[in-house]
Amino acid sequence: MKRRIIGTLKEKVSMFGKLLLIVLVGLSAVLATGCKEEKKGLNPLMADLDSADSAEILYFRTPDSSRYFTYLPTRDKAFLGELISNLKQDTVPPITCMKEGKIYLFKNGEIFNTVFFRYLDKECRFLRYIKNGNLFHYALSEPLQASLEKLKTDAKEPAVVEHIPAEN
């Protein structure tokens, strides 16, 4: 009689082990397929992109030197659309070329992001910005490059403000 109880117990443990294994494999499969990242068409790094209503483009006179520049404020929907489209793409590996300008993105009159760019050198074009201390790089398309080049012709130097001494 003891043998029959033990034999039955071994069978139950073996059957329980198989059932547990099947449940674990099934659960793993469900979790693996449920956790796949889907591309939603919006860069999660810059979630407010679509709310950009204007921009100010600064073109540096010499690469990587923001001291002397020309600038152009714009509400050009075609330019903003192309810029946003470029920033919705996947990031690219870091690019070490020097930046030739920056773009302040505005929404409701407030700057909400700054994007740096290089556009003149066909071999080294990029968009990049900093978020939480990390630098993210994006490819710069030919249509956006052409827009930046065209808009530069309208860019102006900032007005000189003379310092007026305070009255005593």
DSSP string, 116-153: EEE-S-TTS-EEEEEETTEEEEE---HHHHHHHHHHHT
**In the predicted model, what is the mean pLDDT of residues 127-131?**
90
**In the predicted model, what is the mean pLDDT of residues 11-23?**
65
Query: For residues 147 and 79, is the Cβ–Cβ distance under 8 A?
Result: yes
Q: How confident is the model at residue 22 (pLDDT cuts 50, 70, 90)?
A: confident
Return the structure tokens found at 51.
């709310």
What share of the chain in percent tops pLDDT 90?
49
Query: For residues 70 and 155, is the Cβ–Cβ distance under 8 A?
Result: yes
Between CA 112 and CA 15 the distance in angstroms is 60
Among 5-14, 121-130, 149-158, which stretch is predicted with the lowest mean pLDDT?
Answer: 5-14
Per residue in 72-115, pLDDT tens? 999 999 999 999 999 999 999 998 899 999 999 999 999 989 99
Does 140 have pLDDT greater than 90?
Answer: yes
Query: For residues 46 and 87, is the Cβ–Cβ distance under 8 A?
Result: yes
Eight-state DSSP code of residue 89: S
> Which of the two residues, 61 and 19, has the higher pLDDT score?
61
